[in-house]
Amino acid sequence: MNSTVVRTLLVRGMLAGLVAGIPALIFAYLVGEGPVDAAIAFESAHSHHEAGGEELVGRSLQSTAGLATGVLVYGVAVGGIAALAFCFALGRIGRFGARATAALTAVAAFGAGYLVPMLKYPANPPAVGNPDTLDKRTALFFLMIALSVLLTTAAVLLGRRLAGRLGNWNASVAAGAAFLAVLTVAMVFLPSGENVPEGFPATDLWEFRLAAIGVQAVLWTAFGLFFGYLAERVLEPKPTGQRVSTLAA
């Protein structure tokens, strides 16, 4: 794949990420803002600090323009990264077309880049947790993302290497078992990142975490579908004569 095609797919991946961010934004606003408001109310009710003046950014602005900026910028960024991963995966994970490869890339990005790390370090509402441990928890979460992506890549490469001797099914099972074994060991030995204050409503926490997973699921589903369409138009363009002959008929 030449650099011009990679550049084109990168741009289209960023565009697809931006478009995918729109339904994710709607989902986050409708489903995720309720648990966030509940967390802020809990923090306000249990805070022992006196108010230090008005907030620089009001809650209404945070839940609208701020949320939109964060989700859409995130969509553009991860869309570009996923497009590069698509360029690497195309033709290396089987005889899949552009749409199927885009779908598999989106599934892998959602699973390895978010769902697996969240099993160890689940999301907390913004107002929940000790701010003094924020840097440590953020570093641990990104470490888990990097580890999950590396293990996923290694499992795919291992499955391909074993396929010639064991067959595709047995090689996939062996690679998956190795992935789960190493991941389990890593999760056991990595430090815990749980930092939920005592007395915080379990229902609100559960709803926020489900909403966080839902936002990612919506984003990656929309990205896989739209980017697959855009990538197919780049990599598998229909001959110009096909439309002419159809009209002539």
Against a cut of 0.85, is the pTM above it?
no
Reported as a pLDDT band with limits 50, 70 and 90, residue 225 is very high
Q: What pLDDT is attached to residue 18? A: 94
Domain residue spans of the chain: 1-40+61-127+199-238, 130-195
For residue 12, pLDDT over 60 is answered with yes
**Tens digits of residue pLDDT in 107-147:** 999 998 889 888 888 877 766 666 666 677 778 888 888 99
Q: What pLDDT is attached to residue 239? A: 65
Q: What is the mean pLDDT of residues 187-200?
A: 74
Phi/psi region, residue 81 (left: phi>0; alpha: psi -120 to 50; beta: rest), is alpha
Hunting for tokens 């590396």 — which residue is that? 150
**Tens digits of residue pLDDT in 146-159:** 998 898 888 888 88
Which residue has better confidence, 94 or 48?
94
Q: Provide, for the chain, the percentages of residues in helix, strand and coil under a 3-state DSSP scheme, each rounded to the nearest 5.
A: 80, 0, 20
Rounded to 5°, the CA angle 123-126-131 comes to 100
**Tens digits of residue pLDDT in 23-71:** 999 998 888 777 777 777 766 666 654 444 455 556 566 667 778 888 8
Hunting for tokens 């779908």 — which residue is that? 103
